[in-house]
Amino acid sequence: MDEIKEYFERLKRKIKRKFAKKQKVKNNTKNRKRPPTGTKKKRPQPRERIEGIREEPRGSARPKVELDRKAVPNKKKRKKKKLTKEEFEKRKKKKRKENIIEIIKFMLPVVLFAVLVFFFILNTSPHMVDGDSMKPTMLNGDRVIVRRTKEPKRYEIITFKPPVKSEFQYVKRVIGMPGDLVWTEGNDLFINHQAESLPKASELSAANELPDGTIKVNLSQDSLDQMAQFKKIPKGYYFVLGDNRNNSSDSRTFGLVDGQAIEGVVSFRFAPFNSIGWIK
């Protein structure tokens, strides 16, 4: 019996100890200060922190923006001013003038170019040299531009329809002009554009007595018969020669060239490529 009593006594002690420990733990937790429920502070979020940092400059800049907005009037709120009939007509006329000026600026270069092209086509024509009568100035196959004119100058190269049967136009150089003095001796023709009167008969055969600027050429019988009739080259007629005298059919063979048969003056060579240029 004594043993049983001791055993129960031990159990009681153990239970008291455990109970005392639990009481101490409860008392400690009650003594701690806890914030009331519902008033817990939340940690500031990153955005809230940034806003907190930027509060001061924002507050200082806002009045400036507001002042600027007040100073600058809102364009959208402006009402359009109604135009009177006179102002409307003035603006309409101004726009018309501006449109006309723009059209003129655009059209003027086009018109000028068209006029130049028209006159160029109207006053010129292409021609191909056939033969070697104008060597070395022009060669067989050269392509040239002829400027149309009925009054060529001395020593200019012309194209013309010859007074003989031919399918092609001739290309020769003008040597004798209307009004030049001419005289014959045997089969020779003398042309002088400087002398005012014919030399004396005794001076005709003496070369050293001939007037300055006299040109002497040998004529065919047909050409001689024609030239023997004149003391001066008649108005509207020309005496022409080829630059290659040994291989040229010209006024020495068929006589004077009528000005009405002249097509024009050779001015420019455009082919072949290595010979492009003005012709004199």
Spatial contact of 179 and 194, defined as CB atoms under 8 Å apart: no
Comparing C-alpha atoms, which of 274, 269, 275 is closest to residue 147?
269
Separation between Cα atoms, residue 49 and residue 44, nearest integer Å: 6
172 catalytic? Reply is: yes
Give the ranges where the chain is alpha helix by DSSP (H): 2-31, 46-71, 85-123, 221-227, 251-254
First vs last C-alpha separation in the chain:
165
Number of residues that make up the chain: 280
Separation between Cα atoms, residue 50 and residue 54, nearest integer Å: 6
Separation between Cα atoms, residue 258 and residue 271, nearest integer Å: 29
Catalytically annotated residue among 75, 93, 133, 202: 133
Catalytically annotated residue among 12, 93, 150, 172: 172
Helix (H, G, I), strand (E, B) or coil at 232: strand
Helix (H, G, I), strand (E, B) or coil at 257: strand
223 catalytic? Reply is: no
- CA-based torsion, 229, 234, 236, 238: positive or negative: positive
Active-site amino acid positions: 133, 172
